[in-house]
Structure 1
């Protein structure tokens, strides 16, 4: 009985390793190229993975935060994609370089004019943003991902402090402390020269280091579980034979 209990415990431990090592559900994210300092400018990349095996991503819609409007928003051209910029009137005008601005970009939409993001690949969509707000630590961008089979995934849920990440979290840009020159890592003109475009194989992304670790842990959990079962069976047979 003792050997059987040990085997059962080992199997449970192996299953726990598998559960903990399962790769995180991939979703649309946003990261700065360099830093995104409060009060400055930054080029940020919206990373869009294709999570389907039988459909391509053909459109991405990114909605900018209405509570923190950004005066300058410029997309970088992405080969194979058309971009549309939507502006709206502001309830409260912004002041930029001494001039009042009564409208700002509220939405940017990329639409594939080819195959889009095929299964097993991801795409980065760069935007130049500025000036970034100084009265918040982060910006949430609600994104809508559309597939070639007409499926729509809404990455619009904002993670609440102290709570687990929602099923479809909105991309969140973390802002660093303001710099002395208030220009951050990029000026408005940097959008045309910064960032990388083009479809990139997921296997080539640096994030795969985390996925590889998860796979190794997962295999280790399976091995531990199988070994535990085998040990329990052998121990039981020896006890019976004695």
Structure 2
């Protein structure tokens, strides 16, 4: 098999594999909490994106509620505006303060974020659309490895689906699993690792540029030497012809 045919076969196999994964994802569509980028750390802040697919053939989604446990002690939540939707951050006053990820007392933690579709908006009926709702939470708890963030999905026909079931260790995925987010261990570097990575990347770029410049210089020198050699060879041929005459 030629190189081009092998490459083509690899590309086709990858495409079919991706299509299979995509099909499996659509078939088991749930409300999920996703992290796009670095994993949030305990005691820090994190951007969480809730992906909400519509799963009813004859009804569209008009409200999405995200429940946040008060014991997490999350004192601040911001949301990214979604066109056609309004949002509300709900806090609850507790009789006894809880500790946040910085070991500070919190008496009014955030306990819910509600996204409501405006008239004429929402996630359309059927199974072809989804919407993403992004929030940023601070400070994340330091005493848990995973955030469990139940979601409530309301349809325009009055149907309500609670995504609040927690999967048992080693068990099968429940019918309506709660969105979850894993928390990484707190870093003591305070961004040092990111700075190091940036410096390393810059160093690699500089090294690449230097190597490229050297290669171009050597290439140019090679051309000059080649031209001189060609001229010398041509001169030798002419001299030999004159001598023969």
TM-score normalised by structure 1 residue count:
0.62
Q: 2:138 aligns with which of 123, 130, 151?
A: 130
Q: In 2, Cα distance between the equivalents of 1:81 and 1:153? A: 19
Deviations 1:52-80 (A, max 9, x none): 22211100011002332212211121111
Q: 1:64 aligns with which of 29, 46, 68?
A: 68
Q: In 2, Cα distance between the equivalents of 1:100 and 1:155? A: 30
Q: Secondary structure at the match of 1:103?
A: coil
1:29 and 1:46 in contact (8 A); partners too:
yes
2:34 is equivalent to residue 31 of structure 1: yes
More helix by share: 2
Q: 1:144 aligns with which of 144, 152, 175?
A: 152
In the TM superposition, residue 99 of structure 1 has moved relative to its aligned partner by 6.3
Q: Secondary structure at the match of 1:166?
A: coil
2:88 is equivalent to residue 84 of structure 1: yes
Q: Secondary structure at the match of 1:89?
A: coil
Q: Give the aligned length.
A: 164
More strand by share: 1
Q: Secondary structure at the match of 1:52?
A: coil
Alignment RMSD: 2.3
Q: In 2, Cα distance between the equivalents of 1:109 and 1:153? A: 15
2:164 is equivalent to residue 156 of structure 1: yes
Q: Which of 1 and 2 has higher RCO (CA within 8 Å, sep 6+)?
A: 1
2:68 and 2:110 in contact (8 A); partners too:
yes
Which is greater in Rg? 2
Q: 1:22 to 1:96 in 2, by over 3 A?
A: closer
The equivalent residue for 2:106 is 101
In the TM superposition, residue 152 of structure 1 has moved relative to its aligned partner by 0.8
Q: In 2, Cα distance between the equivalents of 1:149 and 1:129? A: 32
The equivalent residue for 2:188 is 180
The equivalent residue for 2:6 is none
Q: In 2, Cα distance between the equivalents of 1:92 and 1:182? A: 28
In the TM superposition, residue 111 of structure 1 has moved relative to its aligned partner by 0.4
1:141 and 1:170 in contact (8 A); partners too:
yes
2:87 and 2:114 in contact (8 A); partners too:
yes
Q: In 2, Cα distance between the equivalents of 1:101 and 1:83? A: 23
TM-score normalised by structure 2 residue count:
0.61
Q: In 2, Cα distance between the equivalents of 1:93 and 1:69? A: 6
Q: 1:115 aligns with which of 115, 121, 146?
A: 121
1:56 and 1:115 in contact (8 A); partners too:
no
Q: 1:149 to 1:68 in 2, by over 3 A?
A: same
Q: 1:134 to 1:93 in 2, by over 3 A?
A: closer
Q: In 2, Cα distance between the equivalents of 1:62 and 1:80? A: 18
In the TM superposition, residue 51 of structure 1 has moved relative to its aligned partner by 1.1
Q: 1:25 to 1:135 in 2, by over 3 A?
A: same
Q: 2:57 aligns with which of 27, 42, 53?
A: 53
